[in-house]
Structure 1
Amino acid sequence: MAGRAAEPEVIWARPERAGRGPRPAYSRSDIVAAAVRVADADGIDAVSMRRLAGDIGCGTMSLYNYVPRKEDLYELMVDAVSAEYELSEPLGTSGGDWRADMLDMGRQARGILHRHPWVIRLMTTGYAYGPNALRFLEHCLGCLDGLDLPGGTKMELIASVNGTVMTIVANEIALAERARSLPWSGEQEQAVRGAYLMRQLAGGGYPRLAAVLASAGAEPLDPEEIFERTLRRVLDSFVPAPA
């Protein structure tokens, strides 16, 4: 990527293309769409100007007229996938069920991150200035209209939901990738690990853990239930659920 600009700049304030001349055969959105496709297929480390130029069919250096820095490309990519949120009228706007709104946002975020797992590596609060990111934040604040909370606390609530979802999805993705890399089935892996754990607990060195696992029963944990329960607890930490 090209070197840093002499002064800070926001990619959203930069013209679509620097310089004059005939209308080009591609646009900034074409570049970003190509970058998202590469990242989805091969991971974020596979994204390079050379790779994108080859996919689009143009000269590598010409892309710097549209996206001068790698950080700018990442910001454009994150904002592009943020357009996948379905932002219907929030129930909280009229004092309705803000919890249902935020749970829906959390579920949608989980789906987006599973479709684009590379986003977890890129996501920072510095990427909150794009049009889709701003629409997302405005929507979430609309969901929380009925809450008697300071604005800063509402922003913390939104950030807590997003952070929790990213943590859960990162673990889900890591587990799935590990399972795919094993030369045996996931059931075999769990059986061996479960047997080892039982032997350790039987020795009496972990009585609290043994008691907790015994009370939980032998039924496998439902990831969907855990996800929902965890998000509800995050929301309850800001406003306790009605009895």
Structure 2
Amino acid sequence: MAGRAAEPEVIWTRPERTGRGPRPAYTRADIAAAAVRIADAEGLEAVSMRRVAAELGCGTMSLYNYVPRKEDLYELMVDAVSGEHELWEPSGDWRADMLRVAHRTRALMHHHTWLPRLMSPVHGFSPNALRYLEHCLACLEPLKAPYGTKFELIAMLNGVVTTYVANEFATAERTRSLPWSPEQENAMRAAYLGGRIATGDYPRLAAALAEDPGPVDPEAVFERVLLRVLDGFQGAV
């Protein structure tokens, strides 16, 4: 007869270590820090229970006494870096404060490049994530809108930042893998696009390209996108 499935549980409701015996040799903070070090240095693919155990100097099976699943290990990692969020006294200008939150989140993702891959609502209620949410709600106190709307704003802003950073990483990775220079790649694609536009089949694209807005400033684009998201919540009900 098949064994009974384990009862669902959140890692934060478990004691630091199950079972009897001597005082635990490691804390969850130790385990999370080891996993973060590995991910920062070698990428998320390098993070495994065996690898983290080796980093700590313990046996793999011993690690399962502290962290029963790899998904729990990921949650510990996300919570650990969430603790790096800057929490300040809100200024009273909710748009400025949320812009600051978004920029800080982007910087955090650039520091821990694996973080966008683990962003999930599932990890949104860990201890440090709760402190982050409480801080965001404090920043949004001047916005006269229901809490449900404020949560939508926070989620949308995080989604935009995560997507923007993921695209930055994808572009950088593709550039590194090119067999020629980025300038050659851009020239090749511009020549192809120019040929397609010259057919006359894309009049609106031709008009758009004729505007020639000049060089694209990624930082300015990021700022505009954030402001447009926030503008959408101005006067929200």
Normalization by structure 1: what TM-score? 0.91
- Greater displacement, 100-109 / 123-132: 123-132
Match of 2:196 in 1: 200
Alignment of 1:111-190 (within 5 A): 111-190=107-186
Calculate percent identity across the aligned residue pairs: 67
Residue in structure 2 matched with residue 235 of structure 1 by the alignment? 230
Letter in 1 for 2:228: R
Aligned residues: 233
| Alpha-carbon contact 1:4-1:69 (below 8 Å) kept | no
- 2:131 maps to a residue whose letter is R
SS in 1 for 2:59: coil
Aligned partner of 1:44 in structure 2 is: 44
Deviations 1:67-118 (CA, angstroms, capped at 9, x unpaired): 0011111111111111111111111xxxx21111000011011111122222
Which residue is equivalent to 1:221?
216
Query: What value does the CA root-mean-square deviation take over the aligned residues?
Result: 1.7
- Flag structure 2 segments of 5+ consecutive residues without an equivalent: none
Paired AA for residue 184 in structure 2: Q
After the TM superposition, list the runs of 4 or more consecutive aligned residues in structure 1 that deviate by more than 2 angstroms: 19-27
**What is the distance in 2 between the residues matched to 1:202 and 1:56?**
62
Q: Which residue of 2 aligns with 1:76?
A: 76
For structure 1, the residue ranges without an aligned partner over 5 or more in a row are: none
On the 8 A contact 2:31/2:52 being kept in 1, the answer is yes
Q: Is contact 1:101–1:143 with CA below 8 Å preserved after alignment?
A: yes
For normalisation by structure 2, the TM-score amounts to 0.93
Contact 2:17 2:24 in 1 (8 A): no
Shift of 1:22: 2.6
Q: Deviations over 1:23-82 (max 9, x none)?
A: 344322111111112222222222111111111111110001110011111111111111
**Superposed CA offset, 1:155-200 (max 9, x none):** 0000010000011111000000111111222222112212221121
Name the amino acid aligned to 1:226.
V
Q: Answer whether contact 1:78 1:119 (CA < 8 A) is retained.
A: yes
Distance 1:5 1:226, change over 3 A: farther
Partner of 1:11: 11
